[in-house]
Amino acid sequence: MKKTKLFAALAALTLASLAQAATLLPGQSLTPGQSVSSDSGAYTLVMQGDGNLVMYQRSNMSPIWYTKTDGNPGAAAVMQGDGNLVVYSTTGTALWNSRTAGNAGAYLNVQDDRNLVVYRADGKALWHSDTYIRPEPPKPVDPPKPVQPPKQDCPGNPGGAQIWFSFCLTKPAGGWWEDRQSTAVTACNYAQAKALAQSRAANYIISDGMCR
C-alpha cells in the first residue's frame, strides 16, 4: 500500500459535511473529533483525538469496534478513491486499513444493524467489522403431543358409555313387612351392574327393576 502525506491528501477533501449521514464516500475523511452515525443515530463512528477510530453504541456509549490505533494523536481516517479505508498518522504512515484497495468508488457505511461495511460501487460488501447483531436462534418447538382418544369406560357399548340399571333391594324384616328400596347403578353390562349393586347391599335380595 502506498504511503501518502496526510495533509496533502486532506487538502483535496471536503471535511465539514458528508453526502449521506451514515456514509463515508470516496475522498471523504474523518479528522480528530469528527464522526459519522447510522441512519437512526444508534451507532456512531468517531475519529478520536488519540488516533483510535471507534464505533460506539450511543445508548450507553460503549465501544463496539475500534482500530487499536490509539497513541497516535492527530491521526485521521480516509475513505480513499481506490476503495481502501485507511487510518493515517500525522506523518502519513498507514496505521490500519481495510485491505480493500483496487475497488474504485467503494464507500463505508455505518449501519443500524451495528455493522461497519465497506461496499463496492455496485453494492457488494468488501469488508465489515463483524459486529452486526446476530438474530436469536429460534427456540425449539415441542413436537405436538399425540391426541389421546377419549377414554371409553365400556368399549363394547355405543360411544363407550356406561349404562344405567335399576334394581329392587329387598331385606326380610320378619313378621309381615319387608324392607324394600330401589336403586340404580351404572356399569358396562348387566352382570357388572348386579355385582355392583350386590356389593353395596350385601344383606339384601336383589331383583331386576324398580320396587313395586
Q: What is the pLDDT of residue 152?
A: 65
Q: How far apart are CA 103 and CA 86, in angstroms?
A: 14
Q: Provide the total of helices (H) and of strands (E) in the chain, helices listed first.
A: 2, 15
Q: What is the pTM of this model?
A: 0.57
Q: What is the pLDDT of residue 76?
A: 97
Is residue 194 classed as helix, strand or coil in its secondary structure? helix
* Average pLDDT, consecutive stretches of 10 residues, N- to C-terminus, the chain (212 residues): 38 36 92 95 95 95 95 97 97 97 97 96 96 84 74 72 82 66 84 85 80 76
Q: How far apart are CA 85 and CA 79, in angstroms?
A: 5
E strand segments, the chain? 23-24, 29-30, 35-37, 43-47, 53-57, 62-66, 76-79, 85-88, 94-97, 107-110, 116-119, 125-128, 163-172, 178-187, 205-208
Q: What is the pLDDT of residue 1?
A: 41
Q: What is the pLDDT of residue 5?
A: 39
Is the CB of residue 15 less than 8 Å from the CB of residue 6?
Answer: no
Q: Which three cell numbers stand for residue 174?
A: 320378619
Q: What is the pLDDT of residue 30?
A: 96
**What's phi and psi for 188, nearest 5 deg?**
-75, -30
| Domain 6-128 CATH (choose: 2.40.50.1020, 2.90.10.10, 3.30.470.10, 3.40.1160.10) | 2.90.10.10
Q: Which three cell numbers stand for residue 39?
A: 441512519
- List, in order, residues 6 or more apart from 170 with CB less than 8 Å away: 178, 179, 180, 204, 205, 206, 207, 211
Q: What is the pLDDT of residue 2?
A: 42
